[in-house]
Amino acid sequence: MSIQSVGIVGAGQMGNGIAHVFALSGYDVLLNDISEDALNRALSLIDKNMERQVQREKITAEYKAASLARIRTTTKLAELGPSDLIIEAATEREMVKQAIFEDLLPHLKPETILTSNTSSISITRLASRTDRPEKFMGFHFMNPVPVMQLVELIRGIATDEPTYKALHQVVEKLGKTAASAEDFPAFIVNRILIPMINEAVYTLYEGVGNVQSIDMALKLGANHPMGPLELADFIGLDTCLAIMNVLYDGLADTKYRPCPLLTKYVEAGWLGRKTQRGFYDYRGDTPVPTR
């Protein structure tokens, strides 16, 4: 099962990072988004991030140019059809993902592998809505994709061994490390990480500490490179809340109840760095805690 060409659905934070690492590893990449502006922003960001790698002497200017030339863009989902591998990296909403796969199906080659970069949604359920559940997997990259070494490989109940092996080889070619996870809500990383963030928000909600003291405590007390509230802002509070809801609904355990304060921030549209406000206010020269 040789994979040469990759179609990526969604040119946001994850999609552009995935396009970046695949192009650097020699794959032909077709990046899709409904917005031409999003595609242009993605190409500009990939160019900037690759230039940073040139400055650090991780790659040469010639290799950067060759890698960028391997990335094409399209607003037409059907054009991804001939790809050997498709990675869906759209919004973390199941209805959106299902609609994308349904629109793709008539245009696919029989051997095309379908994957989702979902951070929490059931792979088995997504796969069941396609014509190839045996060739469907979770392919969960960490953010920021060019920097983070881990990729979670999640098999649905129907995923066959050749599909798993093919994707394992892809991860190796990307120079990353695969962690195999079973198809349970939020898989491994987010099953552990997001409840920790939710607990940090409860600690803030209950007045045990303020934003600054909670983040400092985990950075200096647990040697975390980033405090949990700072990390939540980086991930996006809407994404954190969505994953907590998947855990709460999927496992029916009250320990996964989203903190009301997290819900309140999302209702306010304070989603973290991407909206300039979350647990910190990013509108000035330095981030200022909002609580």
**Looking at the annotation, which residues are catalytic?**
119, 140, 152, 190
Candidates 14, 167, 27; CA nearest to 90 is 14
Q: Is 92 labelled a binding residue?
A: yes
- Provide CB contacts within 8 A for 106, sequence distance 6+: 78
DSSP output for 149-201: -EEEEEE-TT--HHHHHHHHHHHHHTT-EEEEE-SSTTTTHHHHHHHHHHHHH
Q: Is 33 labelled a binding residue?
A: yes
Q: Is 143 labelled a binding residue?
A: yes
Q: Is 213 labelled a binding residue?
A: no
Q: Is 210 labelled a binding residue?
A: no
For residues 154 and 209, give the distance between their C-alpha atoms in angstroms, rounded to a whole number: 37
Collapsed DSSP state (helix, strand, coil) of residue 194 = helix
Q: How far apart are the first and last CA of the chain?
A: 52
Q: Is 111 labelled a binding residue?
A: no
Q: Is 89 labelled a binding residue?
A: no
Q: Is 138 labelled a binding residue?
A: no
Measured in residues, the chain has a length of 291
Candidates 35, 71, 31, 34; CA nearest to 50 is 71
Q: Is 17 labelled a binding residue?
A: no
Backbone angles phi, psi at 125, to 5 degrees: -70, -45
Q: Is 14 labelled a binding residue?
A: yes
Q: From the annotation, which residues make up the binding site?
A: 10-15, 33, 92, 97, 119, 143, 274
Q: From the annotation, which residues make up the binding site for NAD(+)?
A: 10-15, 33, 92, 97, 119, 143, 274
